[in-house]
C-alpha cells in the first residue's frame, strides 16, 4: 500500500479498472503520503476505536486508518470504486466496505451504536448537508476529521459579523469545537482541483455550547435566519417560520435589544439561543 499515493500507481489503477474521476461526485484522489499521515495523526486513533470513513476513494487513507484503529467502516457511493477498494484493502482484516450514500446512511445502525470517529474528504456539494446529517441526528460521534475546501474550513470557524459566518458556522460550533489543522495544496490530488483544501478537526462537545429549550426549533431558526441573507432577520424569519408575523419577530428582537434592521450574521450563538427560548411557546 505504500506506493498507492504515487501518481503512477493511481493512474495505473484507474487505467486497469477503466476509471475516470467523476466531477459530479467531486472525486479528487490524494497522492501525498505526508498529508495522509497528518490526517491519520489528527484523528488520534487507538486500537479500540471505530472509524467511519466517508468517501474512501482508492483506499490509501483507509489502509492507514486500518493500521491505527480497531475497526474501519468505509462508505463509498461510487460502485465503480468498490472493486478497487476490495483489491487495495484485501490485506486489511478490519475494514468493512459499504456501498451507499452517506447522506442517507443510518450510522448508528451501521456502527452498532458504539462511539466512532468520522474521517472524510468531502466534496463541496455534500459538505453542508452531510455535516447537518451527522451532527443533528444524535450519533455517538467523538470527533470528525474532515478535508474540505479551504473556504469551507474558514466558514466552519467563522465568528458573528464575519462574511463567512452562516448557519453552518452556528450549528457546527453548537455541537463541536472547531480546530483548523493544516492547509492542503491542490497539487497533491489527481486530478488537480481548482482550489486548495484544508483539514479541520471537530471535537464533539459533551453537551451543546448553549442550552436551548427546543433543539429542533433552534435548528429551524438558525437555518431560517440565513436562508435569505439579504433580508433583515425579521423578514427572513417571518418567511421561514411564519408562526409569527414580521412585526411580531421585530418585537421579539427588540426585546433582546436588537435593532429592526439586524441581519442573521450579526447574532451570536447565545443570541440565537435566547431568541429560541423567547418564542418556544408561541408556535
Q: What is the pTM of this model?
A: 0.91
Q: Compare 49 and 4 and report the one with higher pLDDT.
A: 49
Q: Over the chain, what is the mean pLDDT? A: 91
Structural domain harbouring 270: 215-279
Name residues whose C-beta falls within 8 Å of residue 251's C-beta, 6 or more positions apart in sequence: none
CA distances 186 to 20, 88, 129, Å, are 18, 24, 24
Cα–Cα dist 153/181, whole Å: 10
Q: At which of 174, 204, 234 does a domain end?
A: 204
Tell whether 84 and 128 lie within a shared domain: yes
Tell whether 196 and 259 lie within a shared domain: no
* Tens-place pLDDT, residues 153-208: 999 999 999 999 999 999 999 999 999 999 999 998 877 888 999 999 999 999 99
Q: Which of 162, 125, 141 is nearest to 266 (CA)?
A: 162
Cell numbers that stand for 63 in this block: 489502509
Total tally of structural domains belonging to the chain? 2
- How many CA within 13 A on the CB side of residue 180? 15
Cα–Cα dist 57/76, whole Å: 7
H helices present in 74-214, as ranges: 82-88, 107-111, 124-136, 150-157, 167-175
* Tens-place pLDDT, residues 220-257: 999 999 999 889 999 999 999 999 999 999 999 999 99
Tell whether 93 and 45 lie within a shared domain: yes
Amino acid at each position: 500500500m505504500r506506493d498507492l499515493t504515487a501518481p503512477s500507481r493511481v493512474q495505473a489503477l484507474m487505467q486497469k479498472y477503466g476509471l475516470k474521476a467523476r466531477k459530479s461526485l467531486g472525486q479528487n484522489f490524494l497522492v501525498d503520503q505526508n498529508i495522509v499521515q497528518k490526517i491519520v495523526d489528527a484523528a488520534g486513533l487507538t486500537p479500540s476505536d471505530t472509524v467511519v470513513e466517508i468517501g474512501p476513494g482508492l483506499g490509501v487513507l483507509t489502509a492507514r486508518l486500518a493500521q491505527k484503529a480497531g475497526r474501519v467502516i468505509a462508505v463509498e457511493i461510487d460502485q465503480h470504486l468498490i472493486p478497487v477498494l476490495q483489491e487495495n484493502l484485501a490485506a486489511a482484516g478490519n475494514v468493512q466496505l459499504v456501498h451507499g450514500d452517506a447522506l442517507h446512511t443510518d450510522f448508528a445502525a451501521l456502527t452498532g451504536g458504539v462511539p466512532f470517529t468520522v474521517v472524510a474528504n468531502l466534496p463541496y456539494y455534500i459538505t453542508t448537508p452531510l455535516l447537518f446529517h451527522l451532527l443533528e441526528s444524535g450519533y455517538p460521534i467523538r470527533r470528525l476529521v474532515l478535508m474540505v475546501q479551504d473556504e469551507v474550513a474558514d466558514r466552519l470557524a467563522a465568528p458573528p459579523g464575519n462574511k463567512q459566518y452562516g448557519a453552518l458556522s452556528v450549528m457546527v460550533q453548537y455541537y463541536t469545537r472547531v480546530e483548523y489543522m493544516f492547509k492542503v495544496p491542490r497539487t497533491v490530488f489527481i486530478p488537480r482541483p481548482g482550489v486548495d483544501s484544508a483539514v479541520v478537526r471537530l471535537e464533539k462537545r459533551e453537551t451543546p455550547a448553549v442550552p436551548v429549550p427546543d433543539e429542533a426549533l433552534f435548528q429551524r431558526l438558525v437555518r431560517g435566519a440565513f436562508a435569505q441573507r439579504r433580508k433583515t432577520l425579521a423578514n427572513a424569519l417571518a418567511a421561514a417560520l411564519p408562526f409569527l408575523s414580521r412585526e411580531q419577530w421585530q418585537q421579539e428582537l427588540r426585546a433582546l435589544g436588537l435593532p429592526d434592521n439586524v441581519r442573521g450574521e450579526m447574532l451570536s450563538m447565545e443570541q440565537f439561543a435566547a431568541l429560541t427560548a423567547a418564542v418556544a411557546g408561541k408556535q
